[in-house]
Every structure is written in structure tokens, then in C-alpha cells.
Structure 1
Amino acid sequence: MPYATAADGVRLHYEEAGSGTPILFIHEFGGDCRAWEPQLNYFSRRHRCITYSARGYAPSDIPADVDAYSQAIAVSDALAVLDHLGIARAHIVGLSMGGFATLHFGLTAPERALSLTIAGAGYGAEKQYEDYFRGVSLEVADRFATLGAVEFSKTYALGASRVQFQNKDPRGWQAFADRLAQHSDIGAANTMRGVQAQRPSIYDLEDQIRACTLPALIMVGDEDDHCLQPGIFMKRCLQASGLAVLPKTGHTLNLEEPALFNQLLAEFIAMVEAGRWTPRDPRAEAGQIMKTT
């Protein structure tokens, strides 16, 4: 079983398939490396696809100390995987927790990214919900620690932005819920406490985000309510970004709508590699309604 070693010695299990320009997929809190299977199957036909299980997710190591988990460490771990594989630059694709890691990757190590795909990222970012998000994240952490993943996954998998997946694809949703039930109790709790509850709001990073020139694709489901406004915010701030809103769709974008997700991502990567995904034309002034002079 292949492993990369993080800066602090934590082992990160990774999987790869295909050859070509590399794509690194970073999973969400409710997933692990298996959550990207529809994308590895599709994109490995023309790309070198890599995904990994974050620290706290078996078969990667599961540190018992919550201080071993943070947003900055999540970025460092992604870089460790690329370093281990000898990859200088890659397209970085992340969902939810992985979407935040992707954004921070672009802010921290832009020279290592060919592009950023930030999907379903926004929970806790809205300033009016910041304190609530931190509190509920700690509550979720406690539930994983006390009830265990097998029991608490039955609740977590039926969140307000997960039921769309269940309604569309009960079999796919059940596979997601089964994987969630296999999570490490302590790994899930520490990830919630160290990464989710402590990460900064993207609204507090506006200056850094505006300075980022990397090509970026932002994807969000229209029924993933707490990601919609952050998605629009990132669209307005990232100089070379596009925003795709998937209709009648919740949070688990790449699994709930795999064909549409793959189509949008494939077109984006093709445009980037052709040099045609450029910053917004300065003539497209956001404040203008109609031109009169």
C-alpha cells in the first residue's frame, strides 16, 4: 500500500491512475480517497490522477493529538503527496473541506498549482454564521467521539445538503453513507476540531484571494445554501475564476452529479491548458448595468 510522508512524519495513503498532466483530488470531511472514484475512472484516460486519504482517515495515519490537525497542515500534506511523487505542478481539485484546502493551496503555494477547482466550499465562511459553525463543528466532533462513526453517520449522512443525493441516487448515497460509517472516531473528531472549527473565514482572506492569479473554477449546488454566497464571493475576488451552479443539487457534487461535474472540470482543464482561461476582461465592470457613453 503506497504512502507519502508528511512533514511531521504522518503517513498519507495515496492512490493514482493514468498518465499525463497531473490532477490532485482532495476529499471532503464526509469522504476519503474512495470518494473520487468517478473522477479517477474518467480523467485517468488522459491525466495522471492522484488522490489520498487525509490524516485521520484510514489507511492514512490517525494522530491522536488534535494539534496535528489544521488548515495549514492540510495544505502541507497535499504538498507532501506531490513531493513524494516528484510532481512539480498539478491541477488541484477539492470538495468542501478539500475545497478549502485547494483555495489555501493556491494562496500558499501558487507556483505548485496549474489551476484550482474549488467545489462545495463555504461552510463557516459567512460572517453571520461563523460562531454558529464553530459551535456546531465542535458538537459534531463530540458526537463522533462519543457515539462513534457507525452510529453518528446515520445522522450526519442525512444533512440538509445531503438528502438531494439520497433522493436522486439512493444506491450511490448508501455507498457514501457506508464509507462514512467506516471513519475513525478519533480521526473524524480531531479533523472537526482542528481543521473545520479553526479555519479562517474566506471573507477574512479577501486581500490574499484578490492577489491570486491562478485559473480557478468554483462549483456549488444550488441547494447547498451555505456555499452559495461564499461561491459568489470567491468568483468576485479570484481574478481568473468562473462559477458553475449545479441545479437541484446539494453538497456532494462529484458523486451526486458525476457526469456534469466531470464535464465542467474537463472543459475547464482543457481551457486552462490551451491558455484560454483568462482573467475577467476589465471592460466587464461589475457596477455597470448598461453602457451609455
Structure 2
Amino acid sequence: MAEIRHERFALPTGVELDVALGGDPASPPIIFLHGFPESHRTWRHQLPDLAEDHFVVAPDQRGFARSSKPPEVADYAPDKTVGDLIALADALGIGRFTLVGHDWGGAIAWMAALTRPDRVERLIIINAPHPYIFQKSLIKDAGQRAASQYIRAFRNPNLEKHLEAIGLEAFFDGTFAKHVDTAKVGDERAVYLDQWSQPGAMTAMLNWYRASSIVVPETGEDAEPPAFLSQPFPPLRMPVLVIWGLGDTALLPCQLDGLDALVPDLKIVKVDAGHFVPWENPEAVTKAIRAFLA
């Protein structure tokens, strides 16, 4: 297995990101984007393997771990985080690259592929919904709307006071652990608690939800669809692999329905895992990525 090193990059987008790197910079590049509430550690099983014959790059995105935590909600809008991605690729001398994203990292990966197809050569999505299908399901699918009510809770401006009162350990056990196979977290629990306890970290991580324009109606609410759902949505032209853990209770398998109409060059691999697929079933994820890249 290749060695993974860590560097900190000051980007022209105004943030500094801690980044895990591995492999020969002359090898084909893969950039990995983690989601909430994680860090580059999401990819701890994939990076050493893929670094054997690729140049792998996995940042702690803005707001997470010890990377910069800008103070405003608007600092976490998707265009800001896509900007970080492109700026990091530029700093590393990377032109076109394979982009891998999970959860919020997958949301940014979808956005980057849609807005910067000149840079994203291939796209790999792991349990992260396409924005059109996700928004449609939040209006039309009662099950997905119910499963997504946590987003409304995370947008509550008083949530940090509640977390301060109960403690991060209680948040881990009462909220995060409900969506994971805790037996597979192992000694990562201490890593999570350390990263979440960094000054401003919880607010910064929650601001990703607050900055999103996705509409999450209340359960049972008669909600009007956003205007963009009635308009043609641009298809992606690059090859796309979607790896989906079918045990995900936050993002239901309905997120795969109709995806082929928006992604003509699509391969879907369904795996036995919950939401946090890269470390709940790492062998299946690495195998699927390698088969796609081959």
C-alpha cells in the first residue's frame, strides 16, 4: 500500500485546506470529497490502495476538521466549495481529473461536473443524490421527505446551543451513530470528537445545510415545486459511476429512479452498506472504482 502524506494549502478562494496526498503526481489524478460530518478520513481505506497507480488527493473541505472555517452561512454555498476544488487542482498542477464524492462531497461533485465539465473527466458518486432527483423526491416522495427532516433540524439556528448543552459525545451516540454501523467505526470515534471540537467546527459543518438552496418541506406540507423542476435539466456528458449502499436510511433508493435520463453514460453498483459506504464496505467501493477506471 502506498504511503499517504499530509499538506496544508492556502488557496486563492480565501481558505486553507488540510489535504491528504498519495502516489506519483505524474499518475492519473483522482480527487476525493468527503461529506458531513467527516473529513479526508472517509477515504482511509481507498487512498492507500488507489495511490499505487494514481495520484490521490483528499482535502478536509472548508469548515471541517482543521481546515479554515469562514464565519458566514454564504461562505458554504456550493459555488464556494466548487471553487475550492478547482483552486486545489490548480495548486497541484492538475488539469482534468476523476472526481469522487460522498454525501455532501457528492453534492459538490455533481455540481462540479455540471458546471466544470472541462475539468471533471469522470465522476464517481457514492450515496449522494443528483440535485434534480433529490429536490423532486422531497416534493413527491413521502418516504424521502420524512427521511430528510434532519436537514430542517440542522438548519435550526439554535441547534448549536442544544449541542453545547448535551455535548458532542451525546450527538455522536444519539444522532450520528443512528446512521452508521458503529462496529465498523472502530477507533475513529475519538477522531470524530476531536475534529468536531475544533473552534467553530459544528457551526461551519451545519452551515453547509443552511447555505443549500434545496427546499425541504415539512412532513405532510402541501409544497410547491421549485421552478427549476419544470425546466429541462442539462445532462452530464462524462462517464459516471454511482455506488449506492442500499441500507441508507437518510437517502433512499428512490434517488436512483430516473437517473439514467440525466446521466446517459451511467453505471450503477449497488452494495451492502448503509450511508457511510466507503468505510462500511470498503472492499466493494474500491473494487467498483477500480473496475470503472479500468
Q: Above 0.5 in TM-score?
A: yes
1:4 maps to which residue? 9
1:85 maps to which residue? 92
Report 1:185-264 matches (<5 A).
Answer: 186-193=200-207, 195-201=208-214, 204=228, 210-225=234-249, 226-247=251-272, 249-264=273-288
Q: How many residues align?
A: 261
Q: Which amino acid aligns with 1:127?
A: L
Report 1:94-173 matches (<5 A).
Answer: 94-122=101-129, 125=135, 126-128=137-139, 129=145, 132-139=149-156, 141-142=159-160, 143-144=162-163, 147-159=166-178, 161-162=179-180, 165-166=181-182, 170=183, 172-173=184-185
- 234-243 vs 40-49, which moves further: 234-243
Q: CA separation in 2, counterparts of 1:6 and 1:185?
A: 21
Please state if 1:14 is matched with 2:19: yes
C-alpha contact 2:32 2:59 (8 A) present in aligned 1: yes
- 40-49 vs 5-14, which moves further: 5-14
Q: Can you give the 5+ residue segments of structure 2 that lack an aligned partner in the other structure? A: 1-5, 140-144, 216-225
* TM superposition shift of 1:227: 3.7
Q: Give the TM-score normalised by the residue count of structure 2.
A: 0.79
Q: Which amino acid aligns with 2:78?
A: Q
Q: Which amino acid aligns with 2:125?
A: I
SS in structure 1 at match of 2:264: coil
Q: Give the TM-score normalised by the residue count of structure 1.
A: 0.79
1:30 maps to which residue? 37
* TM superposition shift of 1:136: 2.1
- 3-12 vs 21-30, which moves further: 3-12
> Greater helix share, 1 or 2?
1
Q: Which amino acid aligns with 1:196?
A: Y
Q: CA separation in 1, counterparts of 2:121 and 2:267?
A: 15
1:177 maps to which residue? 189
* TM superposition shift of 1:190: 2.7
SS in structure 2 at match of 1:158: helix
* TM superposition shift of 1:144: 4.3
Q: CA separation in 2, counterparts of 1:8 and 1:228?
A: 35
**Percent identity of the aligned residues?**
20
Q: Which amino acid aligns with 2:293?
A: I
Q: CA separation in 2, counterparts of 1:23 and 1:65?
A: 30
Q: Can you give the 5+ residue segments of structure 1 that lack an aligned partner in the other structure? A: 271-293
Q: Which amino acid aligns with 1:63?
A: P
- 117-126 vs 210-219, which moves further: 117-126
Q: Which amino acid aligns with 2:172?
A: S
Q: CA separation in 1, counterparts of 2:164 and 2:121?
A: 38
SS in structure 1 at match of 2:200: helix
Seen in structure 2, the aligned counterparts of structure 1 residues 174 and 233 have a Cα distance that, compared at 3 Å, is farther
Seen in structure 2, the aligned counterparts of structure 1 residues 156 and 208 have a Cα distance that, compared at 3 Å, is farther
Q: Which amino acid aligns with 1:58?
A: A
SS in structure 1 at match of 2:42: helix
- 110-119 vs 121-130, which moves further: 121-130
Q: CA separation in 2, counterparts of 1:17 and 1:4?
A: 15
RMSD: 2.7
